[in-house]
């Protein structure tokens, strides 16, 4: 039985959400040609939707020829070329696009060096053979830890030993490990605004969290009184893009050094920077050994690859050795060795450089489109030279909810800055769109902006309101 988790999306009626899910599965081949769809009643019950909603979704699929209806027998999937074909790329892209023509919430990447990766995987199996089957240190294989250490030295001017590095299957896992390492009784400060996910993970791990508000220089020290662990991204705050200046970094290091306090430096995204040089990492300024550096290849290489890592200060690594030796490594040996080769042979740097160029041109194209659009004078782009997004302030009396709703109706999926607050949202943070362009298909942008414009005065706007 088809089962979907239909997320409530502002401005997207349920029937449309359901229609998109089924359409996506048909395009991706998860629903095969000739397969019978569940009856409207059965599906409505299974998804706890009204039969009318399911009916509306089926009708849309019928009208677009994704399914056919057979007298007294039910609905069947039509033959559509799908992602299982040898050249799936356009279809796969289509499948993604089926969600929203312009999705400003998706994270890239748009490209991945499949052939190189595939070759390295074969090489690893040939070179390592049965060694791949022998036990792996729970911190990850030495070859990868050494490759990461070399990468950090060359690319981030971070000089650490492979012995300080722990490899894990994604940052979610490493956050949980850190809670066990630093202690569950501690209070963890997370950025406000920031990724709500980080707060959710810490809370699920059973620790108390406080929000650390930001001023122009980053995390406010006066919000750290209760906290003894600070999790933040000095190189590039999400979503404001703020880069913490040296003065504040030193102040925060001083805070951490005064007691049993720790700083978790989340350096995600630091690879994508366009004009300036990378900001030196906190970890490289840390004399007292209070900074834990974290980064992930899931973001810089591909979400498909669940390899993240953290660099522990020696004291913490000793604690890990002594108390957590029973854990097994969470990352496949095959991919650890493949990534080690990918790094040491210089493919990673090549990939990053290629993607940086790619993202830069995409970003510029989006900025041009925004300048060109009819209501450009209502938009102020808050540019930051880091990461894969920027903010656009919209001069409008409308609520952020209504704003995203209108965009959604025009086929633009976007979030507002206000959605990244867990507490009250300051006036200055309202009417700001977070333009996350890593995963967007920019060729769709002109049309979407056009549609957004056309809404002015048409039926889909509430009577009396104009576009923005």
Site for a copy of itself in 95-134 (CB under 8 A): 95-96, 106, 108-110, 112, 114, 117-118, 121-122, 125-134
For residue 121, give the 3-state DSSP assignment.
Answer: helix
Minimum Å distance from CB 142 to a copy of itself?
6
The CA distances from residue 377 to 89, 343, 389, 402, 421, in Å, are: 37, 45, 20, 20, 27
Query: Cβ of residue 465: shortest distance to a copy of itself, in angstroms?
Result: 33
Give the one residue of 38, 74, 170, 446 binding a copy of itself; rule: CB under 8 A. Answer: 170
| Residues 279, 283, 286: CA angle, nearest 5 degrees | 115
Which of positions 191-250 make contact with a copy of itself (CB under 8 A)? 196-197, 200-201, 204-206
Q: Count CB-CB contacts under 10 A for residue 288.
A: 14
Residue from the set 59, 69, 180, 409 that interacts with a copy of itself by CB under 8 A: 180
How far apart are CB 271 and a copy of itself at their closest, in Å?
16
Q: Which of residues 54-73 bind a copy of itself (CB under 8 A)?
A: none
Find the binding residues for a copy of itself in span 304-343 (CB under 8 A): 304-307, 321, 323-335
The reply on whether position 23 binds a copy of itself by CB under 8 A is no
In the complex, what is the shortest distance from the CB of residue 110 to a copy of itself, in angstroms, rounded to a whole number?
8
According to DSSP, the β-strands at 67-70 and 74-77 are antiparallel
Work out which of 45, 55, 81, 163 binds a copy of itself, going by CB under 8 A.
Answer: 163
In whole angstroms, the minimum distance from the beta carbon of 87 to a copy of itself comes to: 8
Rank residues 145 and 431 by Cβ distance to a copy of itself and give the closer one.
145
How far apart are CB 384 and a copy of itself at their closest, in Å? 25
Closest CA to 296 of 278, 269, 316, 332: 269
Which helix H or strand E contains 421, and what residues bound it? none
Interface with a copy of itself: number of residues (CB under 8 A)? 76
Question: Which residue, 128 or 453, has its beta carbon nearer to a copy of itself?
Answer: 128
Task: Give the chain's radius of gyration (CA, Å).
Answer: 24
Residues 6+ apart with CB under 8 A from 399: none
DSSP class of 9: B
Residue 422 in contact with a copy of itself, rule: CB under 8 A? no
Minimum gap (Å) between residue 277 Cβ and a copy of itself: 29
Contact residues for 435 (Cβ-Cβ < 8 A; gap 6+): 104, 366, 389, 390, 391, 392, 414
Pick from 69, 176, 409, 453: which binds a copy of itself (CB under 8 A)? 176
Number of neighbouring beta carbons within 10 Å of residue 97: 17
Strand partners, 380: 393
Is 444 a residue that touches a copy of itself (CB under 8 A)? no
The DSSP letter of residue 57 is H
Q: Is 303 in the site for a copy of itself (CB under 8 A)?
A: yes
Q: Select 142 or 221, whichever has its Cβ closest to a copy of itself.
A: 142
Q: Whose Cβ is closer to a copy of itself: residue 358's or residue 375's? A: 358
Take residue 27 and report the two structure tokens written for it. 């395009």
Question: Segment near a copy of itself (CB under 8 A), from 52-60, 93-101, 220-228, 278-286?
Answer: 93-101
Q: Cα torsion at 174, 263, 298, 8 (round to 10°)? A: 90
Which of 461, 403, 466 minimizes the C-alpha distance to 432? 403
Residues 378-407 that bind a copy of itself (CB under 8 A): none
Work out how close the CB of 2 gets to a copy of itself at its nearest, in angstroms, rounded to a whole number. Answer: 10
DSSP for 387-420?
Answer: TTEEEEEE--SS-HHHHHHHHHHTTEE-EEGGGG
Peptide bond into 109 cis (omega under 30): yes
Strand order in the sheet with 379-382: 379-382, 389-394, 432-436, 415-416
Least separation in angstroms between CB 115 and a copy of itself:
8
DSSP structure class, residue 277: P
Shortest spacing between CB 12 and a copy of itself, in angstroms: 17
Query: Which element (helix H / strand E) includes 82?
Result: none
Tokens (6 digits) for 459? 């039926």
CB closer to a copy of itself out of 355 and 394: 355
SS3 content of the chain, % helix, strand, coil (to 5): 45, 15, 40
Contact range with a copy of itself by CB under 8 A, out of 78-86, 220-228, 246-254, 458-466: 78-86
For a copy of itself, the binding residues in 1-20 under the rule CB under 8 A are 1, 3, 5
Exactly one of 6, 22, 80, 136 binds a copy of itself (CB under 8 A); which one?
A: 136
43 interacts with a copy of itself by CB under 8 A: no
CB of 453 to a copy of itself, least distance (A): 29
Is position 413 an interface residue for a copy of itself (rule: CB under 8 A)? Answer: no
In angstroms, the CA 82 to CA 92 distance is: 8
Closest contact distance (angstroms) between CB of 303 and a copy of itself is: 7
Contact status: 344 vs a copy of itself (CB under 8 A): no
Tokens of 88: 């799936």
- Residue 343 or 403: which CB sits closer to a copy of itself? 343
DSSP string, 359-373: HHHHHHHHHHHHHHS
């Amino acid at each position: 039985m088809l089962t979907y988790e239909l997320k409530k999306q502002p401005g997207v009626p349920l029937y449309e959400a359901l229609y998109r899910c089924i359409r996506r599965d048909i395009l991706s081949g998860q629903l095969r040609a000739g397969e019978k769809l569940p009856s409207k009643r059965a599906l409505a019950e299974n998804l706890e939707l009204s039969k009318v909603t399911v009916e509306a979704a089926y009708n849309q699929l019928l009208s677009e020829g994704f399914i056919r209806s057979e007298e007294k027998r039910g609905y069947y999937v039509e033959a559509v070329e799908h992602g299982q074909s040898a050249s799936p790329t356009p279809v796969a892209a289509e499948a993604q696009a089926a969600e929203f023509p312009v999705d400003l919430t998706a994270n890239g990447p748009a490209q991945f060096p499949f052939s190189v990766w595939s070759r390295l995987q074969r090489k690893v199996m040939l070179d390592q053979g049965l060694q791949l089957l022998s036990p792996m240190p729970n911190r990850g294989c030495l070859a990868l830890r050494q490759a990461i250490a070399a990468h950090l030295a060359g690319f981030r001017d971070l000089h650490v030993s492979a012995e300080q590095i722990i490899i894990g299957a994604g940052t979610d896992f490493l956050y949980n490990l850190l809670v066990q390492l630093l202690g569950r009784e501690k209070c963890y400060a997370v950025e406000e605004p920031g990724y709500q996910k980080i707060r959710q993970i810490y809370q699920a791990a059973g620790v108390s969290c406080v929000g650390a508000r930001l001023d122009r220089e980053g995390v406010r020290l006066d919000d750290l009184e209760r906290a003894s662990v600070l999790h933040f991204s000095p190189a590039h705050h999400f979503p404001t893009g703020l880069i913490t200046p040296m003065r504040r970094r030193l102040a925060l290091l001083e805070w951490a050094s005064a007691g049993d306090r720790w700083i978790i430096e989340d350096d995600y995204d630091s690879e994508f920077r366009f004009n300036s040089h990378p900001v030196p990492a906190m970890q490289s300024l840390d004399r007292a050994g209070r900074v834990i550096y974290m980064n992930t290849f899931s973001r810089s290489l591909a979400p498909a690859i669940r390899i993240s890592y953290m660099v522990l200060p020696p004291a913490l690594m000793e604690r890990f050795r002594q108390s957590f030796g029973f854990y097994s490594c969470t990352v496949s040996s095959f991919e650890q060795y493949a990534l080690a080769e990918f790094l040491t042979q210089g493919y990673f740097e090549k990939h990053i450089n290629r993607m940086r160029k790619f993202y830069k041109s995409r970003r510029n194209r989006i900025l041009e489109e925004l300048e060109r659009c009819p209501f450009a004078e209502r938009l102020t782009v808050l540019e930051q030279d880091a990461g894969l997004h920027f903010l656009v302030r919209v001069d409008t009396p409308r609520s952020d909810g209504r704003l995203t709703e209108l965009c959604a109706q025009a086929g633009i999926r976007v979030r507002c800055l206000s959605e990244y607050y867990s507490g009250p949202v300051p006036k200055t943070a309202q009417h700001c769109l977070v333009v996350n362009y890593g995963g967007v298909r920019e060729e769709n942008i002109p049309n979407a902006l056009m549609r957004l414009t056309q809404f002015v005065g048409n039926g889909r706007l509430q009577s009396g309101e104009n576009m923005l």
